[in-house]
Every structure is written in structure tokens, then in C-alpha cells.
Amino acid sequence: MHIRIRLSSQLRQTLIERLASAYANRQLRLVRRIQALLYIVDAKPVAEVAELLRLGEQTVREYVHSFLLRGAASLHYQRPSGRPPRLTPTQRKELTDWITAGPEAAGFTAGCWSTLMVQELILKRFGIEYHPHYICELLQNLGFSFQKARFVSDHLDPATRTEWLASTWPTILHQAQTQGALLLFGDEASFAQWGSLSYTWAPKGQQPTVKTSGIRRAYKVLGLIDYFSGQFFYRSQTERFNSETYAAFLTQVLSQTNQPIILIQDGARYHTSRAMRQFFAEHTDRLTVVQLPSYSPDFNPIEHLWHNVRQAATHLKYFAEFAALTEAVDNTLQCLTTAPRQILALMGRYGESLGTTA
């Protein structure tokens, strides 16, 4: 069904201004109402408008009818008198399930929730419109917190990850315990001279700033942490990561220990190159290599260690000279070599997440 409406330029501008005001005041129902009218003005069919805005077709027709009778005066929702409606315990449980399932399961295109999306979900599912400020409080009461999202690769292989959790990891853990081996998780990290950013406090409306040299030079570190003892091995360098530097680092670690080593590594090219395969073959008497599932940094606890290093050494700091960066990183790394308990804390959380403990 098509409804034809022609507006004067002045009335159309009024609609656009009211739409901007509704957005600014977080009036979600009014936003959808005005959007529906503008779609109709642009000759979209009622059915298409209803689908775009997730409204009933009759609701769209009622919006148009009211607008034709009352004009801009129809663009208003009066707050009902009395106490605002509240979600029942059953509705709160249902809302928790929807949020936990993620916005895509609820018909949104984003991968994570925003306050306005939760506002729309509550309005759509329960017919209740809450102010976004209250929604933040509601979400906290339901057990949710405001967190920074992280990327997860769309190349993940769920079967391989499940196999790692159910079989590979328990087998590796038992083998290391039986052999009295070091169980080492390895990875590399780069620390840029321009520093790194994190959350901080600042006056409202004034985004905090940090000076930066803008120099695209980085200090590179190879690292290994032992699951059982919290021992930390590292090698810092300015050259690129490659098979030669990786082999030199592992040779250094082998010379510092006399235990068998089980090395858990990711699939970086210089980890699995022909040169490294030859290196591993030459050291099979002490060195066993296990590959993590592809695109699974969450299975490597040393990622948390790198985060701690950045937090201590480079977050919100200015490095006018490269030497200042290397000094800050080296000092932090050296402190970690004498803080096995801090690393064991990472391992404890890792073991809990996998259903095992050190």
C-alpha cells in the first residue's frame, strides 16, 4: 500500500529539526515516528517502512493519519501520569537472556550492545520506554558492566578450539607434569615509540591528550612464561621478528635451563618456517612444540602479560627519544622476571577458564 504525502519545504524542515531534537533527547518512539513520516514522504510503501523501523503497518498508517489531522502538533508523546512502568521479574530475566545472546540474535546488525539499542529492545519487547541514564543503572543491577570490546577473528575453527580445550590441553598438562617439564607459552610484542592510549580521567567534554613524537619505530620483545613456576624469559631487539631471531631466543632459553621444555606457540610464519622445523628437529631431545589453534590469542595467557607491560611502560606516556622507550620497557620486563607470583596469577585465571588449575 502506498500513501502519497507532499510537504512544503518549510514543513519538511520542521520534521527534520524535530527529528534532530528527538535524537538529542533520546526520545526513541518519537524518532521512529518522524522517520516513518519522512519515509512515507519519500514514497516508500507502508509495508517497507514498517519493516525498516520494526513497526506494525497499522501503526505507520496511524502516524500518517494523525499527522494529516494535526500536523507538527502530532509529533509529541505526553509522559503518562503516575509512577513509570517497571519491568516485572520475568521480563527482567527475559531481558537478561536477550542481552546475553547478543544484539544480532535480537535483529540488530551491530556486534555489541549500545544503550540506545537496549532502550529500543525494551520498548519493542515490553512496550516500556526508559531514559538511557536509567538503562545504565538497570544493566548494572542485572549483572552487566560497561567494557571495551575486543575483536575475535571470523576465521576461528570451533571444532579445533573445542578439541584443544577437551583433549589437547589436558594431555599437554599431564605430559608436562609427568616429565617435570617447563610448560612455556610463547609470543612476541612490539612497543611503539609514539606510546599507547588507555582510559583516563578528564573534565567532561574535554578529551584528554598525550604528546607523541609520531615516530613509527618500535621496540620488539620475544617472550616465554612457564605455566607452573611463573618464570619469565624474554629477548628484546630492534630488528624484525624472523626465524633467525626466534631460533636465537629459543637457544638462549635452552642454555638457561636443563629441564625438558614443552613450547606452546601460535602459527606465525617464522614459528613454522622450514628453518624452524629444522631447529625443532635438532632439539627433540629436550624441546616439544605444540601449536595453538589458529586465530586463538585468547588461549595464550602471555597476551595478558603484554597488556600489563604496556600499561606500566607505555600507556599515556611521551617518548621524545627511542632510548626512553627501550629503557621503560626493559625496566618493566626486568621487574617481571622477579615477580613470578604476578605471572602465576595470570596462569591461575587461565587454568580456571580451561577447567584446570596449576
Q: How confident is the model at residue 356 (pLDDT cuts 50, 70, 90)?
A: low
Residues 6+ away with beta carbon under 8 Å from 344 = 229, 230, 358
In terms of phi and psi (left: phi > 0; alpha: psi -120 to 50; beta: otherwise), the region of 71 is left
162 and 47 within one domain: no
Q: How confident is the model at residue 206 (pLDDT cuts 50, 70, 90)?
A: confident
Do residue 135 and residue 227 come from a single domain? no
> What's the pLDDT band for 235 if we cut at 50, 70, 90?
very high
- On whether the CB atoms of residues 223 and 232 are closer than 8 A, the answer is yes
Check whether residue 22 and residue 113 sit in a common domain.
no
Domain end marker among 74, 100, 120: 74
Q: Which helix (H) or strand (E) holds 23?
A: helix 9-24
pLDDT of residue 286 exceeding 70: yes
The CATH number of whichever domain residue 250 belongs to comes to 3.30.420.10
Residues 178 and 302 in one domain: yes
Among residues 49, 74, 99, which one ends one of the domains? 74
Rounded to whole angstroms, how far apart are CA atoms 215 and 191?
Answer: 12
In a domain, 84, yes or no: no
Last residue within a domain, chosen from 46, 74, 102: 74
Q: What is the pLDDT of residues 32-49, one digit of tens each?
A: 888 888 888 888 888 888
Q: Model confidence over 310-333: pLDDT tens digits?
A: 999 999 999 999 999 999 999 999
Q: What is the pLDDT of residue 358?
A: 46
- DSSP string for residues in 276-316: HHHHHHHTTTTEEEEEPPTT-GGG-THHHHHHHHHHHHTBT
Q: Kindly report the backbone phi and psi dihedral angles of residue 42, in degrees, each rounded to the nearest multiple of 5, phi listed first.
A: -85, 15
3-state secondary structure 134-203: HHHHHHHHCCCCCCCCCCCCCCCCHHHHHHHHHHHHHHHHHHHHHHCCEEEEEEEEEEECCCECCCCCCC
Domain contains 149: no
Cα 59 from Cα 335, distance rounded (Å): 65
Contacts of 24 (CB under 8 A, 6+ apart): none
The three grid cell numbers given for residue 251, joined into one nine-digit string: 637457544
User: Is the residue at 164 inside a domain?
Assistant: yes
Q: Give a yes or no: residue 39 inside a domain.
A: yes
Give the separation between CA 16 and CA 81, rounded to whole angstroms: 29
**69 and 94 inside one domain:** no
Give the H/E segment covering residue 262: strand 261-265
> Residue 349 pLDDT more than 80?
no
Q: How many angstroms separate the CA atoms of 89 and 100, rounded?
A: 17
Confidence of residue 353 (pLDDT cuts 50, 70, 90): low
Task: Please indicate, yes or no, whether residues 204 and 311 belong to a single structural domain of this protein.
Answer: yes
Per-residue model confidence (pLDDT) at position 179? 95
Is the pLDDT assigned to residue 81 strictly greater than 70?
A: no
Q: Could you give the 3-state DSSP secondary structure of residue 2?
A: coil
Same domain, 213 and 331: yes
Q: Are residues 64 and 211 in the same domain?
A: no
- Asked if residue 276 and residue 200 are part of one domain, the reply reads yes
Compute the average pLDDT of residues 78-92. Answer: 72
pLDDT tens digit sequence for 10-27: 888 888 888 888 777 777
- Identify whether residues 23 and 106 lie together within a single domain: no
Dump pLDDT digits (tens) for 46-64: 888 888 777 788 888 888 8
Q: CA–CA separation, 150 vs 153, rounded Å?
A: 10
Instruction: Tell me the per-residue pLDDT of 86-122, one tens digit each, with 9 for 90 and over.
Output: 888 899 999 999 999 998 888 877 788 888 788 888 8
Flag whether 305 is in a domain.
yes
Is 200 in the same domain as 343? yes
Length, in residues, of the chain = 358
Partners of 344 in beta bridges: none
Q: How many domains does the chain have?
A: 3
The reply to whether 235 and 102 lie within a common domain is no
Three-state DSSP state, 234: strand
Residue 52, domain member (yes or no): yes
pLDDT, averaged across the chain: 87
CB of 232 closer than 8 Å to CB of 345: no
Q: Which domain holds residue 119?
A: 89-141
Quick check: is 102 in a domain?
yes
Q: In the predicted model, what is the mean pLDDT of residues 165-177?
A: 93
Query: What is the residue whose three cell numbers read 633467525?
Result: 244
User: Is residue 82 one of the residues assigned to a domain?
Assistant: no
